[in-house]
Structure 1
Amino acid sequence: MRDLAMSVAGLKQLLDQETSFIHELEAYSNALQLKINTIESFIDEVRSKKIEWEQNAEEYVAHPLNSFSLIRRMHEDWRYFELYMSEPVGKVHTDNVKRLSKEMAPRHVDLDDAMMAIIRLQYYYELDAANLINGLINGRQYNSQLTVLEAFSMAQFCIRQRLHEYAINWFKESLKLYDNIKNYELCELVYNLTASKVYGDYANLLLYKGYNVDALNLLNKVADLNVDLWLTRRPVEESAFYINASPQFIKDSRSPVQTGCADQFPASTKFTCHFQRDFSHFLRLAPLKVETLSLDPYVVIFHDVIYDREIQELKSIELSTLRHDRSENPKNSMKYVTLEKKKNDVLNYRIKDMTGMQIGRDKDFLLMNYGLGGHIKLHLDEQPLELVDSVTSIIFFLSDVTQGGATVFPNLSISVKPIKGTALLWHNMNNKLSDDYRTEHTSCPVLVGSKWTLVKWLHGGTQVLS
């Protein structure tokens, strides 16, 4: 499956794939251990012979059985062990790991997507790298933490993206983690993460930004223990002058979108609730529960309007049918699939009850699952279809989201949390049938959770022709 980071539901397959990697590595480790045990058994055997002749070598070889055993052992056993030592260990398992890596491992673009998602969460929710590393996400503590490998990868990614403020913060945390790791050999021999790499890259960034004194202070801690860092320090020491400023960044004021995503809009006293009974006889028996957020433009929430059985059926689709279009919306991070429905489908009838509008050509739905830090950028619902622009937009929320993922209308100071079973509805055009830019909206990045939505657009031409 491609574009792994663009759908949380699709990420579950990586857990099964990692299980396959673990199985092969365990089998490889067992094969290595068997070889080690065999070699050690032989070493014990020949060492016991060595103990016998160390007392008096000439007396030992004077015995015919000892001499015969020695000659045979040197002629045959050591040759066998020479061949045994040269045999590759666990080749079938190394081949399987290579095959799994080729078939299953995320691509470079998937890792970039994941790291950009972390930066997006930091930006929208003003999250600190130190808190993220320790599993503290927007005030809520989780058991998940990041390692020095993830922190250092984030720092390097930020450099490539020229996000130097983020890079400096990630480097600071990388150093703390690196200085406290318990297995330096694993980091250096397997992951090629060395002190010269961690300290050197950070120092070079500080020098690039003009923070010479900070770079020198950093290198002074470790340069005498590492020749590469000692060589890096020399030109810094020899500089004629230093720029004494330490990294300080001016924090931008929070944007309306950030305010909405953080659920910091002022509380409104204009919200009202009512039962909707107008658009069909059925509603007289089972009215819809409506919460009005705005009358101009019209924005409402329908509560308990889609049921668990329907949600389960919608989400039971084959995950491979979900797709992400990088060319269409490169800044959005979700996957979707069009669900073809008939006009007399139960959900289409329900939408007629919700809106009093005709379905016409607008019979299909868009099912979406958001990815890691999944979001949709600020936009107005304008579809270049054959008729006219979208008159009404409807989002059914098919899952609760632990943190984040609100739909925000920054021009209206409205923020709507995704709650399973509810639907958000609004009109995109004003009374003059022109685009109402007050309804510009965004789907805030999902912090924690899997966000599923079902989207329907009703277009003006359908209503005119009806």
Structure 2
Amino acid sequence: MTDSEYMKTLWTVDKIRMRVDYETSDEESFRMFNGDGKDIYNHKSINLILSFQDIQICYAKELNIVTEILNTEDIDDFMKLLDIHEIELNTIKQSDMNHPVDIFNLYKRLSIFWKEAQQILKNENLRRLLDNFLEAFHQDWKFYGRMSAVGLLNIQMYHDLDPRDIINGVIKYGDKIYKSKSKLTLDDVKLIANAAKQDNKLDVYVRWLRSVPGLHNEYQIAAEEHDLALANWEETLVNGVRTLTYPINGNASEAAKGFRNIFEQQMNNVCRNPEILHTCKYYFQFQNIQNLCKEPGHSSAPRPENICLNINYLDPYLKLGPFRLEHLNTEPVVEVFHNIIYEDEIQWIKDMSLEYMATAYLIGSREEVEDPGNLRAKQAYFATTGQWKMLSNRLELATTLKIHNPNYRYDSENFQVVNFGMGGITEIHLDEAELPHSSAFHTGGGFFATNILYLSNNIAGGKTLFPDAGIGVYPEAGAMLFFSSKEYHLKISKE
């Protein structure tokens, strides 16, 4: 072949074989990895409580400290400090650590009350006990306050709850009412309202302030800010600021009064563009999400094709123990495999993950300002070896997909264990657009499907939503949610 002929040849890539790395490591060498396979174990936040397991551990230690104090000479000073902070002793002792309002107040005690108690205790054993407690869990209220305020805000907003109920410790979900031992104060309400404002949610900002007569002046200021945002509608829409579609004050400007028409025009433009799906759903069609969140239990559209069946793929082994499949939707495909993992395996995953859990920023990144309002989860990544490999084999049997190939650097994402804590969310999104982004080719290609293994049940809320399909899947320990955002078109040619 001459040089000129060589230059005219067309080179194509038939196969890419990337270097073997942690996917063939021993289980003993498990570390925590981010999406690029880099070890981020050093980012672990030791003294930060986020997950419900953290909260339960922290609360148990708090109760132990209270019990110890009540049996010492420090009891009188302790009771006086409770009075100063307007905290009832029974509020601490009987709090429900599954209720977000009681959790919010646990964070506040941890940041403020127990720090002051540290200064008044005289008993050396008590001081040592409290010092260890604060060293393990304390964060400044500026941090915990912002984080827990956003958590309560998410719960109220996504489930369309009345802020007045939450302020009084009442959460209504379906036909059930959950009552906390503690309540929220005026300062708490202002903190939550300001968290909404900081996150450009002017609609819930005014709604929280309007719920408390004692914050009338703050509400009036918020109403003026809201109506001004309507008047400056171009800036408001560009910046993704959430507002009501009508002005609050009767003397609002004509531009504010005309915002409803502008809103509907923009809604039609935005919702026809698949590239900005999040903006459409979150800003213009949010009520659909709220309706799915408010419906209790495992829900799906009442369509004839939603069926349950045992599947075995004619495999002799699976005929003895078939998978229980619930088909929820065809386009996009949404399936639930029930009882795909078992109690001992769930506990193994939780135990294995515990020491590797670290904080996750689901909005923004570590390079940006570390806003605790964006700190919505604790997570760990694991490779597919050992016991994880056994789980991968079972998922491959269930889905008929090849999930793991030890000869390739990237074939599917690692197992990622996530605990969202109180009010944690992942905003509505597409795993991928119609065509993979160029960056995906560095990690094995585009997304095809997603599997979510549920490791626990939720008391209320906590669904995985598919707004266009009208489906909200409630977590069921041991079940696996399988879905894909890809579209499938069957073409039939007639001869």
Q: TM-score, normalised by structure 1?
A: 0.58
Report the CA distance shift for 1:5/1:259 in structure 2 as closer, same or farther (over 3 A): farther
Report the CA distance shift for 1:147/1:289 in structure 2 as closer, same or farther (over 3 A): closer
Q: How does 1:86-235 map to 2 (within 5 A)?
A: 90-91=121-122, 100-101=133-134, 103-107=136-140, 108-134=142-168, 135-139=170-174, 140-149=176-185, 151-159=186-194, 161-162=196-197, 166=204, 170=208, 199=214, 202-207=216-221, 209=223
Q: Secondary structure at the match of 1:126?
A: coil
Which residue number in structure 2 is paired with residue 256 of structure 1? Answer: 288
Which residue number in structure 2 is paired with residue 334 of structure 1? Answer: 377
Q: Deviations over 1:378-411 (max 9, x none)?
A: 1222483522112121111121111111111112
Q: CA RMSD in A?
A: 3.8
Which of 413, 417, 423 is matched with 2:480 structurally?
A: 423
Which of 349, 359, 362 is matched with 2:412 structurally?
A: 362
Which residue number in structure 1 is paired with residue 74 of structure 2? Answer: 29
Q: How does 1:75-90 map to 2 (within 5 A)?
A: 90=121
Counterpart-to-counterpart distance in 2, 1:208 and 1:130: 17
Which residue number in structure 2 is paired with residue 319 of structure 1? Answer: 354
The answer (yes or no) to whether the contact 2:47–2:135 under 8 Å persists in 1 is no
Which residue number in structure 1 is paired with residue 436 of structure 2? Answer: none
Which of 470, 479, 483 is matched with 1:413 structurally?
A: 470
Report the CA distance shift for 1:411/1:327 in structure 2 as closer, same or farther (over 3 A): closer
The answer (yes or no) to whether the contact 1:280–1:353 under 8 Å persists in 2 is no
Q: Secondary structure at the match of 1:10?
A: helix
Post-superposition shift, 1:296? 3.2
The answer (yes or no) to whether the contact 1:289–1:304 under 8 Å persists in 2 is yes
Report the CA distance shift for 1:267/1:5 in structure 2 as closer, same or farther (over 3 A): farther
Q: Which structure's CA Rg is the greater one?
A: 1
Q: Deviations over 1:242-296 (max 9, x none)?
A: x8889xxx99875322222223875223212232222744113222121112233
Post-superposition shift, 1:418? 1.1
Which residue number in structure 1 is paired with residue 450 of structure 2? Answer: 393
Q: Secondary structure at the match of 1:12?
A: helix
> Is the aligned partner of 1:287 residue 2:308?
no
Q: Deviations over 1:106-154 (max 9, x none)?
A: 33322211111111111111111221233233252224144353x5213
Ranges of 4+ aligned residues in structure 1 off by more than 6 Å: 243-246, 250-253
> Is the aligned partner of 1:296 residue 2:296?
no
Counterpart-to-counterpart distance in 2, 1:426 and 1:119: 28
Out of 421-430 and 381-390, give the one that drifted further.
Answer: 381-390
Counterpart-to-counterpart distance in 2, 1:256 and 1:168: 21
Q: Deviations over 1:221-250 (max 9, x none)?
A: xxxxxxxxxxxxxxxxxxxxxx8889xxx9
Counterpart-to-counterpart distance in 1, 2:331 and 2:204: 40
Counterpart-to-counterpart distance in 2, 1:89 and 1:373: 34
Name the aligned partner's letter for residue 446 of structure 2. D
Report the CA distance shift for 1:109/1:422 in structure 2 as closer, same or farther (over 3 A): same
Q: Secondary structure at the match of 2:74?
A: helix
Counterpart-to-counterpart distance in 2, 1:3 and 1:100: 10
The answer (yes or no) to whether the contact 2:164–2:212 under 8 Å persists in 1 is no
Name the aligned partner's letter for residue 105 of structure 1. H
Q: TM-score, normalised by structure 2?
A: 0.55
Report the CA distance shift for 1:292/1:334 in structure 2 as closer, same or farther (over 3 A): same
Counterpart-to-counterpart distance in 2, 1:391 and 1:252: 28
Report the CA distance shift for 1:318/1:13 in structure 2 as closer, same or farther (over 3 A): farther
Report the CA distance shift for 1:357/1:12 in structure 2 as closer, same or farther (over 3 A): same
Counterpart-to-counterpart distance in 2, 1:5 and 1:336: 13
Which residue number in structure 1 is paired with residue 428 of structure 2? Answer: 378
Counterpart-to-counterpart distance in 2, 1:332 and 1:271: 36
Q: Which runs of 5+ in 1 are unaligned?
A: 34-87, 176-198, 212-242, 434-466
Which residue number in structure 2 is paired with residue 37 of structure 1? Answer: none
Q: Secondary structure at the match of 1:273?
A: strand
Q: Secondary structure at the match of 1:206?
A: helix
Percent identity of the aligned residues?
A: 19
The number of residues matched between the two structures is 320
Name the aligned partner's letter for residue 276 of structure 1. I
The answer (yes or no) to whether the contact 1:148–1:174 under 8 Å persists in 2 is no
Counterpart-to-counterpart distance in 1, 2:158 and 2:425: 11
Kindly indicate whether structure 1 or structure 2 has the higher relative contact order, using CA contacts under 8 Å at least 6 residues apart.
2
Q: Secondary structure at the match of 2:360?
A: coil
Post-superposition shift, 1:425? 0.9
Which residue number in structure 1 is paired with residue 27 of structure 2? Answer: none
The answer (yes or no) to whether the contact 1:152–1:174 under 8 Å persists in 2 is no
Q: Deviations over 1:365-385 (max 9, x none)?
A: 111112101221112224835
Counterpart-to-counterpart distance in 2, 1:287 and 1:401: 26
Report the CA distance shift for 1:357/1:89 in structure 2 as closer, same or farther (over 3 A): closer
Counterpart-to-counterpart distance in 2, 1:173 and 1:364: 45
Post-superposition shift, 1:343? 7.6
Post-superposition shift, 1:321? 1.7
Report the CA distance shift for 1:102/1:343 in structure 2 as closer, same or farther (over 3 A): closer
Out of 325-334 and 389-398, give the one that drifted further.
Answer: 325-334
The answer (yes or no) to whether the contact 2:149–2:195 under 8 Å persists in 1 is no
